[in-house]
Structure 1
Amino acid sequence: MKESATADEATVRDATAADLSAMAAIYDGEVLTSVATFDTEPRGTTYLGEKLAHAAGSDIVLVATRGGEVLGYAFSGPFRPRPAYDGTKEVSVYLARSARGAGLGTLLYAALLARLDALPQVHTQVAVIALPNDGSIALHRKHGFVEVGVLREAGRKFDRWVDTAWYQRRVTADG
């Protein structure tokens, strides 16, 4: 990202390899304590390093920082591994627990979606939200996502079945 988005002393910028450890700490914390991801074992920096390596064109990885500390990140990636889906990107946002409720998710998504909206090859974005998650649902609705369906008992984690809500945001002709 050539320009920075700032609010309340937080800055959003493109992620770099130097951010991977902090990003992995956030992600692996969610793996171990929540259903925000359906991974069941920590992945360390390898998983996010692969995302960062593919961050070109319409795949984007951003971090929110304050005082040099990574507080969260958002990324886009392929929705499905078939060419007809190339215009659809799956998006995700993860925040450090200490950074939640401070508007950083909004800041990250605003930057990510603005970048995606500017790409002519991107037509729609999809988010998959494990239920219940009122905060994530509110964040996605705030950015124009609408619920398009729920998969009942789509995953099993922490000895229980978890539903997922599917949210979609289509890019309009005027951005």
Structure 2
Amino acid sequence: MRSPALVRAADVADAAGIAAVYRPYVTDSVASFESVPPDAAEMAVRMLAAPRLPWVAAERDGAVVGYAYAAAHHARAAYRWSVSCSVYLAAGERGAGTGRALYERLFAELRPLGHVTAFAGIALPNAASVGLHTALGFTPVGVYRAAGFKAGRWHDVGWWQLPLREPPADPVEPGAWTPPARD
């Protein structure tokens, strides 16, 4: 059995590796609704977007083999305690526990910032992603029918949610993420 990938905070130095992992999800699948794969410069911009939210990377033999990140769930102010999250893996990492390890690290980075709920949208069908999210405690909350058109057909998007903490009666502002020194 192969040893687990090293999971750590990601920084802009990882942007090229992250873009490489993501590219096939854009070009060869409907898991992403983007039509043009972002390059390293665009990934770096996304990683530094305000308010800064966590990005984590999985590394094996010095190369990025997966990543997960959180983004604002919606722009309106009342949503600021909620995040949308995604995880992407190189083909060789699927089924190796890397996705779980990435998400566990991501959630550990999000909780101290004050976020209450994580959401994940999954283009359907995608049994592997549904299985990962369900195993981590996400529950289905609905399906947007015919939400995106890609690869010559319409695709539904299922939405899942995960409570990160009890919703406080009087929440404090969520904090911005500061990545720890490379660990």
Give the alignment's TM-score, normalised by structure 1.
0.89
Alignment of 1:66-105 (within 5 A): 66-105=60-99
Which structure carries more relative contact order (alpha carbon 8 Å, separation 6+)? 2
Matched residue, 2:27? 32
Structure 1 window deviating more from structure 2 (26-35 vs 13-22): it is 13-22
Say which of 54, 68, 89 aligns to 2:49. Answer: 54
1:50 maps to amino acid:
V
State the TM-score, normalizing by the size of structure 2.
0.85
Q: Of the candidates 138, 147, 153, which is equivalent to residue 145 of structure 1?
A: 138
The answer as to whether partners of 2:66 and 2:90 remain within 8 angstroms in 1 is yes
What amino acid is aligned across from residue 35 of structure 2 in structure 1? Answer: T
Contact 1:51–1:61, Cα closer than 8 Å, also in 2: no
Identity across the alignment (%): 40
* SS class of match (1:63): strand
- Mapped to 1, the partners of 2:20 and 2:125 lie a distance apart of 23
Q: How does 1:14-33 map to 2 (within 5 A)?
A: 14-33=9-28
Q: Superposition RMSD on alpha carbons, in Å?
A: 1.8
AA aligned to 2:80 is: D
Q: 2 CA distance for matches of 1:16 and 1:34?
A: 26
Identify if the C-alpha distance between structure 1 residues 45 and 104 changes in structure 2 by more than 3 Å, giving closer, same or farther: same
Once the 2 structures are TM-superposed, how far is the Cα of residue 172 of structure 1 from its aligned partner? 3.2
2:147 aligned partner: 154
Partner of 2:164: 171
Gap runs ≥5 in structure 2: 168-183
CA distance in 2, matches of 1:81, 1:56: 11
Offset, 1:17:
2.1
The amino acid of 1:169's aligned partner reads: L
Which string of whole-angstrom CA distances, capped at 9 and with x for unpartnered residues, describes residues 75-101 of structure 1? 001011111110000000000112111
